[in-house]
Each structure stands twice: as C-alpha cells, then as structure tokens.
Amino acid sequence: MEHIEKILGEVELRKEELISLIEKLVKFKTPAPPARNTKEAQEFVAKKLKQNKFTVEMWDVYENDPNVVGVKKGKNSEEYNSLIINGHIDVAQVDENEQWERDPFLPFVRDGYLFGRGTSDMKGGLGCALFALELLENHGVELPGDVIFQSVIGEEVGEAGTKQCCERGYSADFALVVDTSEMVIRGQGGVITGWITVKSDQTFHDGARRHMIAAGGEAVGASAIEKMMKIINWLNELERHWMVIKTYDGFLPGTTTINPAVIEGGRHPAFVADECRLWITVHFYPNETYESVTKEIEDYILRMSHGDLWLRDHPPRFKWGGASMIEERGEIFPALEIDETYDGVKMLQHVHKEILKKQVEIEMSTSVTDGGWLGEAGIPTVIYGPGETKYAHAINERVSIESLVDFTKVLIEFIYNWCHTKRGGINDIL
C-alpha cells in the first residue's frame, strides 16, 4: 500500500496533466445529435490505452461512430476480481442559439472549475479513468485481475454502444460507469419510449364529417386525432394509478411516469384525420423491466379501447423502444438496482471513505445511463463518477477540479484493491 500512497500523491503533483487530458477530450466535437462524429476522439482514446499496454478492439457501431474497448489481462485472471470501467464519448447537443460564455469546445479553467461541453457529462470521468490507468502503468503496477476499459458511443441518443459491448461478450466481476454522479454510488430507474398509432381503414372528406357524427349519418368513421385524445386521457389515468400503487426506496412518489411527448396526425384540413401517432416516454422503477411496464400499458389501453365502439374494431398499435433516437426515433435504458451487500459495492464504499474521510452515499438516480445494459447482462454495476447533474447538459457546463482529483484518487485505489482481491475474499481485506 505504500506504493499506492506514492501514486495517490502524484495525482496532486500532476493535476495539470489530468486537466490537460480532459481538455483534449473536450476539444473533440462529439455532440449527439448530430452524432457520427466520434472516430477521431475514439482513436485518441485507443492510442492512450495502447500506450498503457491494453489490447484494443475498435469497431463501428455506426459509420464514424466506433466503440473502443481496451483489455489488460491480469497475472492471475482465474482467481482475482476483474473490473469494467465504462463511459461514453458523446456529449449533449449544443444549440446554435445557446448563449455560451465561450466556445463550448474550447475548455478553460476558472474559479476551481473546468468549463466546456462534456466536462461534467462525461469526459471528466473518462479522462480521470484514463489518467488513473496511466499512473498505475507508469509505476509498474501489475494487477492480478483483469481491467476492461470501455469508451462507447451513443448514450446521449439511446444508441447503447454499451449494449454492443455486452453482446460481444465483454464481462467482469464488477462494473463502474464513471458518469456524472457527484461521487455518489447510484443505481437508476429505467426509460423506454414508444409509439401508439391509431389508424382508420377508411378516408373521409372533411365535408362528410356530419354523416359520421349525426344520427342516421350512415358513415361509421372517426377522427384518429379525437380517438387519440381518449387514449391520452387513459394514459393519464394509468399514470395516476401507478403513483398510488408503485413505490421504490430512493425515489419520490410518482416518479414512475408516462409522458405524452409528441403527437403527429392528419394529412390536410380537407380530410378527417385517418391516422394519429403518439410518442410517449415511460419512466419505471429499478424493480421493474421495460417488458413488464409496456405490457401493463398495452393491456390497459386495449381493455379501455374495447369499450369504445370504433376503437374496438380499430385497436391502437404499439411499437416500443429502438436502438437509436436518431435512426429509429426510439430508445431503451434498462433500470439498475444496487445490491449493497455485493463485494464490489462494499469495496468502493471502503475506498471512498478511506480517501475522502467520509461515508459515500448510495442513492437512485432519476436520470439514466448505460449502466442498465451492464446490469441486464448480469454484471454487478454501479454509477460512480465526478461532476454535478445540475451542470450536465447545461449552458457553460463545468466540473469541479477538486472532484476530478478526488475521483482519480478513489479510482486508483479501488482498481488496485479490487483487482488484488480474490473472488469472494473481500472479508480478508475489509
């Protein structure tokens, strides 16, 4: 541990190098949308990993948007704990009308903060992780357990580069998603978007509307927009019902929501609307799945539709999720529960307290990350990183330099301790 103490002290001495590394990452313009712009940044990450003796795989998730995964095999992988460090290289969109103090991709330091798009969400966390691995390598630290570093694309637009990492077989005994969390250990609720479509099998001229709604009109028809209004009311009823019957520790009541976000319908004022589409966003609790909540919604809406004479014969159709908000106008973020009894969580709590001299909080995030995909793949996972949520996606985004230094220290000691611990042997250390 004397060796690690020396490395931790070097974080302070080389603080400017850490800041410079994060600044280099921020200067790569990787906003999503528009996306398809991360290749140069990912090549930079891949080069850093290779310099630190990682074996690197890089593949296109979309053209000009590759994932990068670096693996450093441990000296005794069969017996010792392995670790995934995960983060996304894309950053939030920058609108041309936003009043930034300076160019968002030309970072600068002021009053103890590093400013720039992505500093908080989450190139700060990525940079700290790369720097921690570099310091360990510089000091000749050989870990018994494996370390897998994942720099993924698409998190900001639901493209789940992390999901592809899981599908390619990358796994470990524990995973840290080093996304914005204020150095609090977090799980998360889940999110899924969906489209509800109402469509008529007939088209009516606007002049025929009287025949559809008047006694003896002889035209059995309806406006798809008006029927969608009923469906929106039913979704509101179901949402209110969820607020009463569903709870989860760490969330305020009513956090499970159904948001009617976008509505599209009709073709021209001279027609009765023969089709209407509703785009909804559903938030659910960590003890639920996107499959279970979408089934609840479908069952309820179809049951209510059966009481409407027209919808009974023209039931609404549902399309859930998608691999990309850009390509498919849909996304999924699975929920992530935290098992506080798991060795990795207990180890992280121990290291955080040892470095920062205070107990780390464990809570649930109302925002979402790729952590749910790792959890769904059976990998015990937590979200733990620098940066404050209030600055993520914000104009003049920033991150505290103190938090970057503190996080790097915690990460160095955690990597060292975790990968030097035999599976199931944490009680010998704590």
Q: Catalytic: 274?
A: no
**Structure tokens that stand for 207 in this block:** 């002049």
At 37-59, the pLDDT tens digits run 999 999 999 999 999 999 999 99
pLDDT the model gives residue 429: 65
**Structure tokens that stand for 334 in this block:** 């699975």
What single-letter amino acid sits at 266? G
Which residues does the chain have with pLDDT short of 70? Answer: 1-2, 214-219, 428-430
pLDDT the model gives residue 215: 63
DSSP letters spanning 140-187: T---SS-EEEEEES-GGGT--HHHHHHHTT---SEEEE-SSSTT-EEE
CATH of range 2-188+336-428; options 3.40.50.20, 3.40.630.10, 3.50.50.60, 3.40.50.740: 3.40.630.10
Question: Exposed, middle or buried, 198 (CB in 10 Å: 0-12/13-18/19+)?
Answer: buried
pLDDT the model gives residue 366: 81
Q: Which of 65, 90, 406, 413 is catalytic?
A: 90
Burial 248-282 (b: 16+ CB within 10 A, else e): bebbeeebbebebeeeebeeeeeebbbbbbbbbeb
Which residue spans within 8-103 are E strands per DSSP? Answer: 31-32, 55-62, 65-72, 83-88, 91-92
The fold of the 190-320 domain, in CATH, is Alpha-Beta Plaits (3.30.70)
At 208-263, the pLDDT tens digits run 888 787 666 666 788 999 999 999 999 999 999 999 999 999 999 899 999 999 99
Q: Which of 23, 134, 146, 155 is catalytic?
A: 155
pLDDT the model gives residue 296: 98
pLDDT the model gives residue 279: 98
Q: Catalytic: 173?
A: no
Is 190-320 in the same CATH topology as 2-188+336-428?
no
Domain boundaries, the chain: 2-188+336-428, 190-320
pLDDT the model gives residue 42: 98
